[in-house]
Amino acid sequence: MKKLLLATLVAAASIGAAQADGPSVYGKINVSVDNTKSDLNENRVTTVDSNASRFGIKGNEKLTDNLSAVYGIEWGVSIDNNSNSSSNSTKAGINNNTDTGATGGTFDLSARNRFIGLQYEGLGTLKFGRLDTNVKTLQYVNPAQGVDVADDFVNGTFDSTQTFAGENRINNVIALESAKFDTGYGVFSANFLVSPSEKTDSKNPTDPSYAAKTGSTATSTSVIYANKDVGLYTGVAYDVNVSSIWNAGNTFAYATKAPSTSVNNPFASASNPTDLFRWVGSADLGKLAGIDGVTLNGLYQQAKLSDKVAAKFGNTSPKENAYLVSAIYKFPASILDGLSAKAQWESATTKSLGNNIADVKIDQVTVDLDYAFSAKTKVYGFWAQRTFKNPNNVGTIATPLPNAGQDSNYKYQGFGLGLEQKF
């Protein structure tokens, strides 16, 4: 009997150990009540929004002393069961819990990052799957806070995804992520991914696809530097041929294309293969300059159409310049521990490469007040306003209904209160 009891205890301990080494579940529920108004619409709209709520499963399996298998699958969740509807947005194809390619259909679960790979300790990780580009993830050079403080507000309609290009999650990815190398003056890391086109071109000159040459491989690269001792984080990234939506759609380029059904962004109604450079920096002024509680962030990027696409537009091919500056102030515990104030300005402008004349411009300002009950639970309130200016277009869009007569220069603003719970 004692031997049977001992065997049972050993088996139970083994099961517990196996479970401890197994996959872990994580995620967050972020729900807000928001009120928005667009100059293109008659009245204000109140919505309950899920704001990129998500859950995922991740884990690793030790194979040798240095080699491990790694994996992860993540889904977007529509907590209010209609956050993927674009009917309350001022534009089609909003962020909708996942990425810039969302179609706006109502559904409960949506695909986010997912991968499987191998990790060699001290060297790096090889992954295969669907992942954010290195340009997109660069905003988290400071792991404590992304530089976009309006991230996911109102289901992403105030996210930087709606201001400038480059916020992409792509399929068919082969990714290399280096280990973090400490030089004594800070930690460096590098990342590279490639997305094969998975297409082929006909060799038959009479085939219509012969001239189209549809095959197109995309790459994304980043180099990151972090020095947490002095509170300085920075990095650069570069996309080549990654399909991106251009929010500040260039009207010179639009003049050479067929009309689109998109009201406020005709050029960007579909993704365009894009080459894009991005720089991001974050400074903890408490460590860097003795200004406790203050973090300053900045982002600059320049985008242009990939060469094959740009050739179709000739000298009207556009380029985009974009900027973002944000500040975070964490109040001292003597005032209210857990209280933070945030402010942000972001802007994107397109110009024609041929004449360098400024064309469409988008500006957005955001203010936000957070109170964190703990590291996993917070409440927040925000106000944001985006301004769309199209000085080279007429005051109203003259396309067929339902877009005819709508102003091409307008404001979109909103405010809301939300609750976020991480797990």
Give the CATH number, domain containing residue 225.
2.40.160.10
The answer to whether 56 and 26 are in contact (CB under 8 A) is yes
Q: Please report which confidence band the pLDDT of residue 91 belongs to, taking 50, 70 and 90 as the band edges.
A: very low
pLDDT of residue 318: 85
Structural domain including 161 reads: 2-422
**Coil, strand or helix: which one is 257?**
coil
Closest alpha carbon to 82 in 130, 49, 119? 49
Q: Does the pLDDT of residue 73 top 50, yes or no?
A: yes
241: left (phi over 0), alpha (psi -120 to 50) or beta: left
pLDDT of residue 326: 98
Q: Please report which confidence band the pLDDT of residue 75 belongs to, taking 50, 70 and 90 as the band edges.
A: very high
Cα(375)–Cα(421) distance, integer angstroms? 9
pLDDT tens for residues 237-269?
Answer: 999 999 998 888 777 665 544 344 343 444 544
pLDDT of residue 221: 98
pLDDT of residue 282: 98
pLDDT tens for residues 109-123?
Answer: 889 999 999 999 999
The answer to whether 36 and 412 are in contact (CB under 8 A) is yes
pLDDT of residue 191: 98
**Which has more pLDDT, 80 or 153?**
153
**Which has more pLDDT, 339 or 91?**
339
Mean pLDDT for 273-289 is 95
Mean pLDDT for 175-203 is 90
**Which has more pLDDT, 12 or 318?**
318
Q: Of the spans 8-12, 39-43, 74-78, 85-89, which averages the highest pLDDT? A: 74-78
**CB atoms near residue 83 (< 10 Å):** 28
pLDDT of residue 92: 31
Q: Does the pLDDT of residue 291 top 60, yes or no?
A: yes
Closest alpha carbon to 25 in 80, 88, 72? 72
Q: Please report which confidence band the pLDDT of residue 19 belongs to, taking 50, 70 and 90 as the band edges.
A: very low
Q: How far is CA 385 from CA 84, 150, 243, 263, in A?
A: 22, 11, 27, 18
Q: Does the pLDDT of residue 349 top 70, yes or no?
A: yes
Number of domains in the chain: 1
- Residues in a beta bridge with 188: 181, 225
Q: Please report which confidence band the pLDDT of residue 405 belongs to, taking 50, 70 and 90 as the band edges.
A: low
Cα(245)–Cα(262) distance, integer angstroms? 12
pLDDT tens for residues 362-399?
Answer: 999 999 999 999 999 999 999 999 998 887 665 555 56
The answer to whether 18 and 410 are in contact (CB under 8 A) is no
pTM of structure = 0.83
Q: Please report which confidence band the pLDDT of residue 4 belongs to, taking 50, 70 and 90 as the band edges.
A: very low
Q: Does the pLDDT of residue 281 top 90, yes or no?
A: yes
pLDDT of residue 215: 58
The pLDDT mean for the chain works out to 82
**CB atoms near residue 301 (< 10 Å):** 23
Q: Does the pLDDT of residue 95 top 50, yes or no?
A: no
The answer to whether 72 and 57 are in contact (CB under 8 A) is yes
